[in-house]
């Protein structure tokens, strides 16, 4: 992780994104302590921010619940941001498949973590249903979140100034370019 930060500094990248990992049986609290202490031990170069990414929450992985992201932010003195991955959040049980559900999930994120900490969105549809904890990304608008949900995320007022990154698969003859065009279309051009 330190080598990644140093490389990002050389590249003048503004962010390094990381998952919290898994507690592998130690328990959620011990896992969060461990993740926080590892993040605190980093020497973060000026101009760089570490982002913790929301997880699908499979097995003992941390970061599926918004409370776990908030707990790590609380336990670290160094400033951290959050990256919200739509496929992961959906798999972790946060519904994003309708405009109403997106409204609720964004409000819950704001309550628990705080939208001021949201620095990036990974825009991915999900091959599996809400709450399945299964992490497989789908093309934008073609998974279980679907076009209405993706459009609601893309046009939500609170997310307007947040950068979006697609992490969609390259399959079925569809590339990143296809997904970016699809996202632009769903966002209203
Ligand atoms: Zn992601």
Per-residue pLDDT of 67-120, as tens digits, reads 999 999 999 999 999 999 999 999 999 999 999 999 999 999 999 999 999 999
CA of 77 to the centre of ligand 1 (A): 24
Q: Which of 67, 76, 19 is nearest to 42 (CA)?
A: 76
Nearest-10 crossing angle of helices 99-112, 146-154: 50
**CA of 10 relative to ligand 1 center, distance in Å:** 23
Which residues are close to ligand 1, an ion, with C-beta < 5 A?
85, 122, 167
Does position 189 have pLDDT exceeding 90, yes or no? no
Q: How many angstroms does the Cα of residue 172 sit away from the middle of ligand 1?
A: 20
Block residue for tokens 């973590």: 113
Q: Which residues are bridge partners to 80 per DSSP?
A: 50
How many Cα atoms sit within 13 Å of 161 on the Cβ side?
Answer: 5
How does pLDDT run across 12-57, given as a tens digit for each residue? 999 999 999 999 999 999 999 999 999 999 999 999 999 999 999 9
Question: What average pLDDT does the segment 129-146 reach?
Answer: 98
- pLDDT value of residue 182: 97
Res 5 pLDDT > 90 = yes
Mean pLDDT for 134-161 is 97
Largest CA distance in the chain: 47
Domain ranges of the chain: 2-186
State the pLDDT at residue 27: 97
CA pair distance 75, 40, nearest whole angstrom: 9
Rounded percentage of the chain residues whose pLDDT exceeds 90: 99
Residues with Cβ within 8 Å of residue 148, at least 6 apart in sequence: 97, 98, 99
d(CA 74, CA 79): 10
**Would you say domain 2-186 falls under CATH 3.20.20.150?**
yes
- pTM of the entire structure? 0.96
Strand pairing report for 49-53 and 118-123: unpaired
167 Cα to the center of ligand 1, angstroms: 6
């Amino acid at each position: 992780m330190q080598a990644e930060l140093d490389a990002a500094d050389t590249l003048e990248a503004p962010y390094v994104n990381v998952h919290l990992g898994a507690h592998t049986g130690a328990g959620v609290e011990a896992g969060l302590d461990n993740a926080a202490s590892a993040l605190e031990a980093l020497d973060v170069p000026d101009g760089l921010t570490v982002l913790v990414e929301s997880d699908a929450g499979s097995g003992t992985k941390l970061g599926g619940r918004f409370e776990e992201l908030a707990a790590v932010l609380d336990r670290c003195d160094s400033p951290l941001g959050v990256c919200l991955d739509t496929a992961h959040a959906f798999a972790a049980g946060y519904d994003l498949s309708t405009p109403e559900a997106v409204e609720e999930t964004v409000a819950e994120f704001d309550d628990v973590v705080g939208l001021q900490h949201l620095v990036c969105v990974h825009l991915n549809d999900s091959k599996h249903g809400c709450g399945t904890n299964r992490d497989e990304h789908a093309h934008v608008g073609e998974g279980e979140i679907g076009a209405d949900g993706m459009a609601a995320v893309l046009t939500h007022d609170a997310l307007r100034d947040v950068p979006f990154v697609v992490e969609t698969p390259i399959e079925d003859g569809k590339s990143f370019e296809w997904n970016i065009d699809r996202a632009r279309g769903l966002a209203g051009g």
